[in-house]
A and B are shown apart, each in its own frame.
Chain A
């Protein structure tokens, strides 16, 4: 009991800011960008104290000082008025940054407000605001800015306002589309159901989720504003009393720096502009990666080479049910996720099973028990951090755990195909379903003629119960059940021997689920397919599977034929799972739930992984991981209580 309570308590979270910095500091680009920006900001702030000369004063300047080359007295030479370029550069940084930051602030404020209001309210408000945005977008910015600044007096404040008031259009569009996405999410509906008004929803639900995009966008807008300011100054439209980098360029260019070869007068302010814009861009990109985790590497990227270890023990072939040949033989497979600086997450350890031709095996476990990792490892489609650290995967006498990428790509889809979880929602919406199935065939097997290909597509659709007339329909014209059938057709397109279905019915209604299960059962009988059916639902397994592998916390809890698992389960976890299942013959009985939650794979208990939730755990369970015990031919359970003798 004591262990249980300990496990159920969540750990104290660390501060979100600290977490942010942790991820941020791992992004080298962002750190470089931040550093570049910090240098310039410090120079701008402390220009008064660190600049060797005062660029506003003409004291002691003689005509011989004009366009002097870099020297010990003037590190970056002197300009057309004989003033120190380095000092001007420092003061110029101040004005360039002031204009950049404040103009960007105005742009972001206007663009953000327009975007959120338009996206949130929709209808006429949106139409009006967005058409106005479009209008502003098509007017060429620079000429307009030039005209405005020329008409008003070109002082710092006017320049900030003109740049700010014209630079908000892209922000408005980006923010609007993000607002639309946030608005349609369920928690906004929930807030409405609570009784919250629009103001509350915008401030508490929309703004926090739009903020990351706003911040990233702000950084890019700052760099654009600095560029605009430099352009204006270069054209002579700048505050004559405030030095900026653009103005330095303008003076040098207009007063003969080129003809006397005084390159430093041009290069130094140009370098400043490039430095700041580059720093901001790096920072912006880095921030985007930190704030938007979807940009991280996709989990189906090719994995690292695997390590082979000696395979021993393993499961014996079961007597009784199957006489057909073995197609897939997995022995002692272990998969770890290796993260820099953290202990490896032992996602799958020492899992063995044998799959025969025509066999339907159920792979059962709660979310996070390693079942998806296991099936991804079979054809080595693990994320890059995932490594097979031991064991073997034999497919028709080919060792997949160590096979080359070429061998594997021959076997993927042709030998073993996978119906991914939620794949039915991943059909390309702008191409017909028939076209997408044809593509899957074309990629894997050489096809003689287009007519033959089309014939094959029709055959496949027919096999899964979709009539030929639907071949040229688009995914949105299909219902959820039909899309799942199309995914099955696609998985069958290269006549594989093994099909792995990862939760193929989870999001479907019971009646559609029954249809899909019936289809899978027919297919394996008709085509002699071996199927691995991944699910968290023991009821579905009992309805159609021959054998069942129950996983818990990355290890095998129990492995046996379906009748044994349902009627004589020996592992307490299997027993609990069965009790948690609704039994309609006794509807008044209270459901038994398993207390607590499955362990995290990077923080596994020392002993049996189920011990913290186990109703019959004793001392030994907390310290010692139970071995796999074979109770009778083909029935395996990992529990100290079933140990012989």
Chain B
């Protein structure tokens, strides 16, 4: 990991309009999917973005990709403001930021062969014009993704592969452009536990061999420990705790992080521990609660929490959390 900042997000907001103002009501409602978010990512760094569905983590990824337009704030990539990039600039940026989607069964076109799928990005960007050169890059991307020998896979169709193999094809399709930043949106949540380890190890290797920065989005804190440098926990569109992997896992400060950690299944009945089960689900982000956005579900909330929204406080130099209890 170098000290060069590859991605910087400042006060990013993404609101969606929830229904138009009606004939009788003038009030507009907004879904606060990403609400005032700050994030810095260094070259070669892996950050895990953790949160339940509806916390805005996937919207953040789509906004970073330029597939959704930011409502406010700015995104800097490799020193350049890309928040409002023109379509031409955007296309150039997409060579350097790539995304791996959650569902390997849905994100591959069933009528294309693996070769067509993996070479598609090259065709779209007009790279590697010669057939031989293009094929060489496809083969390299497939083999780097663990599909060896690649020749065995080129003429196959997605339905002839297993879930783990498909996810490797998705990753190869992202790698073929040699991106600098990879956004992985729940890349293992649809896979069997036995296959998850392979994909996580693969991503870890890619970071090591190619120096790619990775934003790893997941709802499961259990799978991130293995290769994330830092962990950011999101709740209702905002980061509530962020810090080095070890600090967040060993010494979680925010009650939400503590609850998420407590419910991770442990494969040994002798180590069964007390679960902090939060009742209900992430509330809808249209009418945000006053005060701390977590207080209605917080097991240790006090009166102050209903009044003021806490900002991120330093726990250590490399660890911050947004909870008033930290001050005491």
Contacts and interface: CB of A to CB of B under 8 A. Distances in A.
Given A13-B157, A204-B112, A584 B194 contact: no
A194 B94 contact: yes
Contacts of B111: 208-209
A9 B94 contact: no
Contacts of A598: 162
B178 interface: no
Interface stretch (B9-17, B32-40, B273-281, B310-318): B273-281
B152 A584 contact: no
A536 interface: yes
Contacts, number: 191
Interface in B179-220: 192-198, 200-201, 204, 219-220
B111 to A, nearest CB: 4
B163 interface: yes
A566 B155 CA distance: 42
Contacts of A539: 193, 222, 264-267
Contact of B153 (A10, A208, A584): A10
Interface residues of A, number: 64
B160 A187 contact: no
Contacts of B163: 367
B103 interface: yes
Contact of A577 (B107, B170, B194, B279): B194
Interface string B96-129: 0011011100111111100000001101110000
B298 interface: no
B267 A196 contact: no
A502 B293 CA distance: 35
B126 to A, nearest CB: 10
B324 interface: no
B219 A591 contact: no
Contacts of B164: 597
A154 B154 CA distance: 54
B53 A584 contact: no
A375 to B, nearest CB: 17
A537 B265 contact: yes
B260 interface: yes
A469 to B, nearest CB: 15
Contact of B265 (A542, A563, A577): A542
A195 B156 contact: no
A387 B163 CA distance: 27
Given A187-B107, A542-B268, A515 B197 contact: no
B20 interface: no
A259 B108 CA distance: 66
Contact of B201 (A367, A584, A590): A590
Given A514-B263, A591-B196, A593-B197, 9 more contacts: A10-B161, A190-B173, A366-B194, A479-B281, A510-B52, A510-B221, A541-B267, A582-B222, A593-B198
Interface of A: 9-10, 12-13, 16, 185-187, 189-197, 200, 204-205, 208-209, 366-367, 479-481, 509-515, 518, 536-543, 562-563, 566-567, 576-578, 580-582, 584, 587-594, 597-598
